[in-house]
């Protein structure tokens, strides 16, 4: 594994930990030359999923694209990077469990919304405002009322 600072290939593993319910291994590494510490993730390579966009175009599934959107939605919230990694892993597992090689982007968006609603309400609203493309305050208020209903239902259960 190359060092991100000096590009040296001689690194050592300091710590390893299972993440994503055993679906990946998180490793803390240290460069032998410059002592820079960094984190890597190791996971089983699965067949590529193809995402069907709203306009009908197709592109390969990219977990980094989802993570980037989630990081934006979770700015200035207490949500950790590890929680976001676990969320994306959960979404990936759901997609592979569907058994389809091609997945509509709307399905991915709904999976993200479901997971974010449980993780952090503020991040959920931020993501929803971009994903649902609210056109006015009324549609935004409708989404907020659905969150309140869901929260009330979860408390009663």
Running DSSP on this structure, what letter comes out for residue 49? P
Residue 85: both structure tokens together? 């990694």
Residue 111 in this model has a pLDDT that exceeds 70:
yes
> pTM to 2 decimals?
0.62
Residues 6+ apart with CB under 8 A from 102: 49, 50, 51, 52, 58
Please provide residue 117's backbone torsions phi and psi, each rounded to the nearest 5 degrees: -60, -35
User: 45-68, pLDDT tens digit by residue?
Assistant: 778 899 999 899 999 999 999 999
- What's the pLDDT score for residue 125? 84
- What's the pLDDT score for residue 108? 94
- Residue 79's pLDDT band, with cuts at 50, 70 and 90, is very high
Residues 6+ apart with CB under 8 A from 13: 27, 28, 29
């Amino acid at each position: 594994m190359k060092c991100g600072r000096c590009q040296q290939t001689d690194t050592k593993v300091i710590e390893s930990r299972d993440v994503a319910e055993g679906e990946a291994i998180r490793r803390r590494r240290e460069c032998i030359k410059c002592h820079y510490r960094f984190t890597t993730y190791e996971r089983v390579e699965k067949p590529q999923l193809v995402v069907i966009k709203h306009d009908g175009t197709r592109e390969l599934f990219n977990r980094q694209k989802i993570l980037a959107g989630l990081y934006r939605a979770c700015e200035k919230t207490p949500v950790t990077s590890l929680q976001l990694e676990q969320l994306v892993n959960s979404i990936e597992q759901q997609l592979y469990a569907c058994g389809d090689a091609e997945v509509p982007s709307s399905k991915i968006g709904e999976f993200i919304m479901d997971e974010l609603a449980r993780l952090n309400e503020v991040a959920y609203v931020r993501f929803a405002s971009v994903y649902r493309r609210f056109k006015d305050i009324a549609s935004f208020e409708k989404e907020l009322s659905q969150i309140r209903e869901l929260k009330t239902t979860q408390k009663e259960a």
